[in-house]
Amino acid sequence: MRRIQMAAAATLLLMHGAVLLAGLFAPHDPAAQYRYYPYVGPGTFSIVGTRGEPTGGTGKLFLLGTDSLGRDQLSRLLYGGRISLFTGVFGALLAAVLGSAIGLLAGYYSGVIDQILMRLVEFVTSLPWLFLLLGARAALPLDAEPFTVLFTFLVILAITGAGRPARVVRGLVLGLRERQYVAASQGFGGGDLYVMRRHILPDVWPVARESALLAAPQFVMAEVTLSFLGLGISEPAASWGTMLAGYARIEAIESAPWLVAPAIALAITCFAYRALLPPGGDGTNG
């Protein structure tokens, strides 16, 4: 593994581990509002009372500053990363597994099964996934639980994202099943499941892995974009998209440049995922 890939893997592990253990690393409750301290800069140490007043309380350190409601940005960045990052992880894994399974069955059995599965894949991939997400969100109540919204997004992203790995895996399996060692295994009485597990899946795995690496940052961007537009995870739940929505106001851009932190975290995530791919990797090479 190249050094840049090792650095990218370490960066992603660090980021995902930090948000997963946000309860340990977050200095404050992400929903707590210290209304006397809106837009305080990074590293500010303030005395906060039991009701957020600036007297008669304990010291609070805001390492990444606060937003317009006085909420600690580091805590919201960590808790919001749970939603944004793991939308990409789980969505990409589901899409890669589903697409690889469809491509494996279509390529191995071919014939009618291949025709049915590929026509289904073509139909699904022809649907605009963004409009499907928008339609699904519109069908949900405005006060829907974040888990419900997130689960709906994951299902739609997995289904619409399975088309590409399905086509790539199908093409790969069509070639693999003609190999002599596959025919020999079948001739010696090897069942379909044995042949696929023993001789096909080892070559399918790298394709599925690269497909997941390509899809993950796209799915993270999808969640962040929808939440930024107010169509995804909604306040008061923290997500990188809802955090960036607060940065869209002119006064925030002028007086609180530190609110851009989620965008920096998002850029690092996307670059790290891309760096994990081998040179020229596009999810099609094994």
Interior angle at CA 102, CA 96 and CA 106, nearest 5: 140
> pLDDT band at 286, cuts 50/70/90?
very low
Q: Is the peptide bond before 236 cis (omega within 30 degrees of 0)?
A: yes
Average pLDDT over residues 44-69: 74
Q: Where are the domains of the chain?
A: 3-32+71-276
Q: Say whether pLDDT at 264 is over 70.
A: yes
- Taking only the tens place, the pLDDT of each residue in 193-247 is 888 888 888 888 888 888 899 899 989 998 898 888 877 777 778 889 988 888 8
C-alpha 86/C-alpha 140 separation (Å) is: 21
Q: pTM for this one?
A: 0.82
- Residues with Cβ within 8 Å of 266's Cβ and at least 6 positions away in sequence, in order, are 84, 220, 221, 224, 240
- Reported CATH class of domain 3-32+71-276: mainly alpha
Per-residue pLDDT tens for 74-133? Answer: 999 999 999 999 988 999 999 999 999 999 999 988 889 989 999 999 998 888 877 888
Average pLDDT over residues 262-268: 94
Q: Considering the chain, what is the average pLDDT of its residues? A: 84
143 burial (CB, 10 Å; 0-12 / 13-18 / 19+) is exposed
